[in-house]
Amino acid sequence: MRRISQRIYGQRFAFGDLGVYIAAMRYFAMANFATSRPIANAARLTAAALLSVLLTHCGENKPPGPPPPAATVAKPVQRTVVDQDEYVGRFVAVNSVEIRARVSGYLEAVHFRDGQIVKTGDLLFTIDKRPFQNTLDQARANLEQSKANLAFAEADLARGQQLVRDKTITEQTFDQRTQASRNAKASVAANEAAVRQAELDLQFTELRAPVNGRIGDRRVSPGNLVTGGTAGNTTLLATIVSTDPIRFEFTFDEASYLRYERISRTGKEVTGREGGVLVSLKLIDEPEFSHNGYMDFVDNVIDKSSGTIRGRAVFSNPDSVFTPGMFGRVRVPGSAAYQALLIPDAAIGSEQVKKYVLVVNADNVVTPRYVTLGQMVDGLRVIKDGLTADDHVVVNGLMRLRPGMKVTPHEQTAAPPSAPKESQAKSN
C-alpha cells in the first residue's frame, strides 16, 4: 500500500493535477462508507481505483505535439528566354585621323579649342600663305606667256600652210613651224598644271577637319615650322576621332564561336557574320545593360596565341558618353529562344559545388533536388535541369527546413514583387 501510495503520489506530483487527486479521495471515502468488507480490502480496492482514475485521466490529457512548420512554396515560372553571354571589351572610333600638313611652312594660326567637337570642313590650322601665293602668281604668269607663244605659233603655222602650197617656203620650214606650235601647246598644258598645283598648295595651307568627331590637343603652337608632304617625317598637328556612331570590340573563345556558328547554320541567327544581331551594353559604373546596339563584324581568323576571335558591335553615341578606349561589358545572345523554368534566387541552396532546392511533395514532406543553374532574368534564376513545372519549391525559410521534414505549405507566386531589369549571364 505504501508503494502504491508512493506511485500514486508520484503520478500526482508528476502531472500536478490536484483535481484528479481530490476525485480519487472522494472515491476512496465512498467506497469505505458503502462496503462492509474489512478495511484492508477497501484499501486495496480504493488504491486500485485511484490508480486507474489517475492513469486514465493522465492518458486523456497528454499534451499534443507541435504542428508541422509552415513553408512558403511556389511553382516555377515558365517563360521563353534567350541565354545571354557577357564579354568585356573596349570602344574604338569608327574614324581616327591624324592631322598633318601637306605643305611645309610656318604655322600661322590655330582655329579650334583643344578637345572640342568639330565637323567636316571646319578650319583647324592655317599655314603662312604668302610663299604659296607668290608661287601661284608666278605659275599664272608663266601660263599667260605660254598662251601668247601658242597664239603666235598657231598664226605662224597658218601662214605657213599657204606659203608651202605656193612653194614660197620649203617643207622643212613648214615642219619647223608645226613643231613650234606643238611645243607651245605643250608649254600651255604644263603651265596650266603648274597653276593647278600652286592653287592646291595654297589650299593646303588651310587644314580642315576631314571627319566629324572630337579633336585632341594641338601638338604645335603658332610660329613653329611645320614639315609637310608625304614623307614619314611630317609634323603631327592633332588627332580627330569620330564619336557617333562608335564601335565596341571584344573577343570570345573558340568554343563560343563554334556554338554561335552552329546555331546560325540552323537558321536561328545569333552572333553571326552577317551582322544585325541586337546586343546590349553597360559601362563599369552602370547597374543595367541599358545601351542597345547591333553586331556588324566577326573576324575571319582565330588568334593562335590566345585562342580567341574578335567581334565588333556598333552603338549610337549622340551625347558623346562613349569614348574610344573606354571599358564596357557587352551582352550578346548565346542561344536560340527556348522555354525555361525560373525560380527566385533565394530558393537555391549550396552544397559544396552543387546547387539544390527543397521541394514539397504530395505528402507535404520536404525533399532535396539538385539543379543546374542558368542566367538571371528579371530577378529570377533560370533552372536548366532538375525541376518540373508542377514542382512546389520552397521559396522562403530554406534554412529552417531539413530533408524529410513534414511541413504545412503555403503557396505563393514565384515572381518577385519588383523584378529588376538587369540580367546576369555567363561571363567570359
Q: What residues contact 166, with CB distance under 8 A and at least 6 apart?
A: none
Average pLDDT value for residue range 250-276: 76
Question: Which residues are bridge partners to 109 per DSSP?
Answer: 126
The pLDDT of residue 224: 95
Q: What is the pTM of this model?
A: 0.67
**8 A C-beta contact, residue 253 and residue 428:** yes
Please give the backbone phi and psi of residue 62, each rounded to the nearest 5 degrees, phi first: -65, 125
Integer Cα distance of 114 and 116 in angstroms: 6
pLDDT in tens, 131-159: 999 999 999 999 999 999 999 888 888 88
pLDDT in tens, 22-39: 555 555 555 554 444 544
**8 A C-beta contact, residue 102 and residue 228:** yes
Average pLDDT value for residue range 393-402: 82
From residue 198, how far is each of 26, 47, 172, 193, 205 by CA, in Å? 138, 138, 39, 9, 11
Mean pLDDT of the chain: 81
What domains are there in the chain, each with its CATH number? 2-60 (no CATH), 72-81+337-427 (2.40.420.20), 84-92+244-333 (2.40.30.170), 99-124+211-241 (2.40.50), 130-204 (1.10.287.470)
The C-alpha cell 566629324 sits at 212
Beta strand 70-74 with 392-396: parallel, antiparallel or unpaired?
A: antiparallel
The pLDDT of residue 57: 53
| Residue 234 burial (10 A CB sphere; 0-12, 13-18, 19+) | middle
Is the model's pLDDT at 422 over the cut of 50? no
Integer Cα distance of 139 and 355 in angstroms: 85
Integer Cα distance of 394 and 347 in angstroms: 6
pLDDT in tens, 80-106: 888 888 999 999 999 999 999 999 999
Could you give the angle at the alpha carbon of 342 between the alpha carbons of 341 and 343, nearest 5°?
Answer: 130
The C-alpha cell 588568334 sits at 303
